[in-house]
Amino acid sequence: MNTSTDTMRQDILAAALTLAPFEGWTDMMLRKAERKAGLTRGAAALYFPEGPLGVIAYWAEQLDAEAAAKLAAMDLSSMKIREKVTAGVLARMEAMDDHLEAARRASSRLALPDGFAQGTRQVWASADMIWRAIGDTSTDSNYYSKRTILSLVIGSTLPMWLSDETSNKTKARAFLDDRIANVMQFEKLKWEFKSKTENWPEPVALLGALRYGGGFKRRRRRRSRTL
């Protein structure tokens, strides 16, 4: 994207963030944002052909970039994995704090049928950003499981963050701590199960042995001696 296009998109977004708390993320709001940014009528459609949903997606990308920059400035090497993940989610949530009402209205807009898939993609993108920012390099099934689980954490924490009126988001932070504690407990149990079963036969081989009697030979011999 060239610099002038990006500048125009930034100007439209800045205007939209001041209007969305009152207007919602609507076509009418976008037309007003267009005028407020000093653009001619219809210009917003050139930069955001998807309409208000496109502006929300662009804003989400900016928030992810801001959170990633914040994480890059931290001394992550001295932190445990749980602390890194918590810091990542908090950085992403805090990036919205200057425009919380616009974020609330965006969340409501994405809950509509035509925005639901986009909302899901945005949460996944945020989870991916966090894992990458804290140094995750997995490429196997862990890549997807980590991002799926963190997406669930982000998705459940977001409404708590947006609705929490306490100072310093005390309730939302406690909720996040509990969710991550649950995830870490799950990961611990998963690791313990894997370590205890790593020498177990493959399921297909085991089922094959049972199917063709391999698993019962010893039992049959014992039983023949008791008849």
pLDDT at 220: 47
Res. 175: pLDDT tops 80: yes
pLDDT tens, 73-103?
999 999 999 999 999 999 999 999 999 999 9
User: Quick check: 130 and 151 in contact, CB under 8 A?
Assistant: no
- Where residue 4 falls among pLDDT bands split at 50, 70, 90? confident
Percent of the chain whose pLDDT exceeds 70: 80
Q: Which of 146, 145, 177 has its CA nearest to residue 161?
A: 177
Question: What b/e readout covers 157-171, taking b as 16+ CB neighbours within 10 angstroms?
Answer: bbebbbebeeeebee
pLDDT tens, 188-226?
555 554 555 556 555 555 455 545 554 444 444 444 443
Residues 6+ apart with CB under 8 A from 75: none
| Two structure tokens written together for 1 | 């994207």
Burial class (CB in 10 A: 0-12, 13-18, 19+), 124: middle
Long-range contacts of 26-29 (CB under 8 A, 24+ apart): 26/52, 27/51, 27/52
pLDDT at 142: 86
pLDDT at 191: 53
pLDDT at 199: 60
Stated length of the chain: 227
Mean of the per-residue pLDDT values of the chain: 86
Radius of gyration of the chain (CA): 25
CB atoms within 10 A of CB 199: 6
pTM here is 0.81
Look at 2-6, 7-11, 206-210 and tell me which has the smallest mean pLDDT: 206-210
Averaged pLDDT, 23-39:
96
Amino acid, single-letter form, for residue 172? A
